[in-house]
Amino acid sequence: MSDSNALYQERKCLGIPNPQDYHQFIKSVLIPEDALQRRIAELGAEITRDYAGKNLLLVCILRGGVMFLTDLIRHIQVPVMMEFMAISSYGAGARSSAGHVRVTLDLATDICNLNVLVVEDIIDSGHTLKSVMELLRARRPQSLEICTLLDKVVRREVVVPVRYRGFEIPNEFVFGYGLDIDEFYRNLPFIGAVDLEKYQAA
Ligand code: PRP
C-alpha cells in the first residue's frame, strides 16, 4: 500500500473527510474558466440593459449559486441589492416525486414591488426553482425572473421560465464553480464533468 493510500484509508477510518484529487476522476473540463467569465460578463451586460432605470434585487439560492452571483454582480451596472435563500435537499428522487421543496433560510427583505432576479448555478429537473418561484410570486414582487448559469434541459420534468441562461449542458454529472460533489470542489474556477467510475466518495 502506498503512503498516500495508507493515509487515505486511515482518514476514512477516522471519519475525516477525504476528498480525492479531482485530477483522478475528471472526465473533461466542460466549461473552462475564461469561457465562464466571458459568458458571465455578457449576462451582466444583458441584465444591465434590461433593467436600465430600475433597481434590482438578486436572490441567490445557496449554496451552489454563490460563485456565480459574486462574479455576475460585478458586471451589473444598475443599483443592485442581494439576498440569499436556502432550500432543503430531500435527495433528487424524493424531490422529483414530491415536486416541492422546503425553505431552510428565508429572505430578510420584503420583496413586494421589487424587481427580483433569482440566481442559480444549475437547473436540472426544475422542481427546486418551480417551488421557489411559486413562493416568491406569492409575495407580489414587481417582476420575477430567473438567471441560471447552467441548464440541463434534457433532464427537465417541469416547466420553468428561464430568462437568462449561461450555458445549456448535456446530461453529465458536473462539479466546480459552486457545484459540489459530496460538498467539495465548489472552489474550482471551471466546470468539470465527472467520470463516475473513477470517483470515490470522501
Ligand atoms: C442544486 C442546484 C439547484 C437544484 C437543481 O442544488 O443548486 O438548487 O440542485 O435541481 P432541480 O432542478 O432538479 O430541482 P443542491 O441540492 O445540489 O444544493 P447546493 O446548491 O447546496 O449544492
How open is the CA angle 152-148-36, to the nearest 5 degrees?
90
Q: Whose CA is nearest to atom 14 of ligand 1?
A: 128
State in Å: Cα 197 to ligand 1 middle: 22
Q: What residue ranges define each of the domains in the chain, with the CATH number in brackets?
A: 32-88+98-171 (3.40.50.2020)
pTM, whole model, 2 decimals? 0.89
State in Å: Cα 78 to ligand 1 middle: 28
Q: What is the pLDDT of residues 54-91, one digit of tens each?
A: 999 999 999 999 999 999 999 999 999 999 999 886 55
Q: 126 CB under 6 A from ligand 1? A: yes
State in Å, rounded, how far the first CA of the chain is from the last one: 19
User: Which of 128, 162, 165 to probe ligand 1 with, by most ligand atoms within 8 A of CB?
Assistant: 128
Cβ burial of 148 (10 Å; 0-12, 13-18, 19+) is buried
Catalytic pick from 71, 121, 124, 151?
Answer: 124
Q: How confident is the model at residue 101 (pLDDT cuts 50, 70, 90)?
A: confident
List the beta strands (DSSP E) in the chain.
26-31, 56-62, 80-87, 103-105, 115-123, 143-151, 164-168, 174-175, 191-194
* Rounded Cα–Cα distance for residues 10 and 18 (Å): 10
* Rounded Cα–Cα distance for residues 143 and 165 (Å): 18
Q: Is 181 left (phi over 0), alpha (psi -120 to 50) or beta?
A: beta
Average pLDDT over residues 16-33: 92
Q: How confident is the model at residue 18 (pLDDT cuts 50, 70, 90)?
A: confident
State in Å: Cα 79 to ligand 1 middle: 28
CB atoms within 10 A of CB 14: 8
Q: Whose CA is nearest to atom 1 of ligand 1?
A: 122
Q: 64 CB under 6 A from ligand 1? A: yes
* 124 labelled catalytic: yes
Q: 18 CB under 6 A from ligand 1? A: no
Average pLDDT score over the chain: 91
